[in-house]
Amino acid sequence: MKKNFSNTVLVCLIGAFLSSCAAYKPGLIDPSFQAVDLNSKMQAGEYEQKIDNFYVVLDRSGSKEETYRGHTKFAIANDFLTRMNAGIPDVELTSGIRTFGASLNPFAKKTNLIYGPTAYSKQGFQDALETVGWGGGLSPADEALNAANSDMMAFQGRTALIFVGDGQYKGYDPAGAVKQMKADYGDNLCVYPVLVGSEESPPPQKL
């Protein structure tokens, strides 16, 4: 079997944990980053497409304003997704992005669908990432995942669910929500948790 395309989506993950920025600004923390062009590798048969859809659940709660190595976890998360987006080859995909948090009210429980589900485009995906410029509010990760479950009913074929967060979800049950998603979608769903945080942070809840 050729290398799994869903794994290539995560190639840029390592770099996202090595640096970050003090306050969120659209774009990359390290502007020298250059995405690897995977189109030629796909045309040569070194890679093949293994998913039809990908869906991002992005933590934008108040804890994402905490810093890691001098930069906010919010900025690191956005940097990771910007790099991921830049590295996706030109294949047909359907995509969506849902956030939770992103509220100026520190006690608000909020989740928003900010992109899709729609035919994926690099520009559309990036534009959606730049629509919310802060992190705030509580962390209803389970509610966001339950809403994502409903959003993904529009998808056909295999889906990669990419959950980007810091694991600080005390009082919520994201693991239970993911188990329900796996029960609903079975082998058509692969889950990729991306931890953004510090070794000094509380232990993350496993998905």
Whose structure tokens read 């188990």?
179
CA 147 – CA 177 distance, rounded (Å): 10
Q: Does 132 fall in a domain? A: yes
Q: Does 159 fall in a domain? A: yes
Residue 90 has pLDDT above 80, yes or no: yes
Range of the domain at 162: 51-183+193-198
Considering its fold, how many domains does the chain have in total?
A: 1
Task: Give 3-state DSSP helix, strand, coil % of the chain, rounded to 5.
Answer: 35, 25, 45
Higher-pLDDT residue of 193 and 18 is 193
CA angle 158, 112, 195 (to 5 degrees): 65
Average pLDDT over residues 72-97: 91
Residue 95 has pLDDT above 70, yes or no: yes
Q: Does 77 fall in a domain? A: yes
Whose structure tokens read 């992109």?
115
CATH of residue 154's domain is 3.40.50.410
199: left (phi over 0), alpha (psi -120 to 50) or beta: alpha
Residue 6 has pLDDT above 50, yes or no: no
Whether the model pTM is above 0.85: no
Confidence of residue 41 (pLDDT cuts 50, 70, 90): confident
Q: Does 65 fall in a domain? A: yes
The whole-chain average pLDDT of the chain stands at: 79
Q: Does 112 fall in a domain? A: yes
